[in-house]
Amino acid sequence: MNDYQRVEQLIRYIDDHRAEQPDLDTLAEQVGLSAFHLHRMFSKWAGITPKAFLKCLNLSHARSLLDAGGSVLDTALDTGLSGPGRLHDLCVSLEAASPGEVKSGGAGWAITAGFADTPFGTCLIGQNTRGICHLSFVSSKKKSEGVAAILSDWPKAEIQWNDTQMAELASNIFAGPSDRADPGSLKALVRGTEFQVRVWRALLEIPSGTLTSYSRIAQSMGSPGATRAIASAIAKNSVAFLIPCHRVIRETGVIGEYRWGRSRKKAIVAWECRPQEQAQPSEGTME
């Protein structure tokens, strides 16, 4: 079991036992570690203490981030400029495949694809000369599902498998701003309807560390009655993390579902929204 799998297991346990407010010893027992080693593992993975991380998963904290994110998104979309949080975020530009390219299923394209480890489990990345055209999270035991997904998106493209090259790309995508080898922009190439692409472009304006809701995106796009259609478009996003559909939650502050797993969504949200403090491992404490 790797660190992310332990974190995912802990998130599920906390969700099921939130009313009991499990302490560090109880959480450590769930993943077969001592309290000291859990604290050290968690602090290394998240950069903060377990207690601070769990605070990021609380409903009240999600609501406060939601309130902050709403105003930032409105301003960004109104002015066409990214919010201040984007200075510390990945800069991703999005290009839509033409209707002819979508219809052809990527015929004549060469896509380099490969599996890579990330802070949130194994991912599959596909990239061609125009950008990253696929990024999904997969179970390390079910990689065939990832292969099926990229072939479904681009059934007639030539897939050239290169795990090493995609691992290098993943390390840049999932690194912190100060650790990123190439701080320049990344390009994503997507297939979707005009409406879906508009929604995905709106998602790119949500700064890391903030959240927004489906209804607020609808309002910002001038389509207040299109909340369900927007939720459907978000669910069809095939470029995980880079197009940050994980930053969209329910108006109530509930994190909600995610194409690649609800626990993974919670882990990404808490990881991005964590206080920027450094944890000092300590025996038997959540501090």
pLDDT digits (tens, 9 = 90+) for 69-123: 555 555 544 444 344 444 345 678 899 999 999 999 999 999 999 999 999 999 9
- Does 285 reside within a domain? no
Residues 66 and 156 in one domain: yes
Residues 101 and 243 in one domain: yes
The whole-number pLDDT of residue 117 equals: 93
Is there a contact between 240 and 136 (Cβ–Cβ < 8 Å)?
A: yes
State the CB neighbour count (10 A cutoff) for residue 20: 9
Q: How many domains does the chain divide into?
A: 2
Residues 127 and 15 in one domain: no
Both tokens of 134, joined, read: 């696929």
Q: pLDDT (tens digit, 9 = 90+) per residue, 98-109? A: 999 999 999 999
Q: Is 245 a catalytic residue?
A: yes
Residues 53 and 66 in one domain: no
Residues 19 and 98 in one domain: no
Catalytic residue, chosen from 56, 123, 133, 245, is: 245
Residues 139 and 207 in one domain: yes
Give the separation between CA 280 and CA 287, rounded to whole angstroms.
9
- The CATH number given to whatever domain includes residue 245 is 1.10.10.10
Give the separation between CA 79 and CA 95, rounded to whole angstroms.
20
Q: Which residue has the tokens 């700064």?
A: 207
Residues 37 and 120 in one domain: no
pLDDT exceeds cutoff 90 at 160:
yes
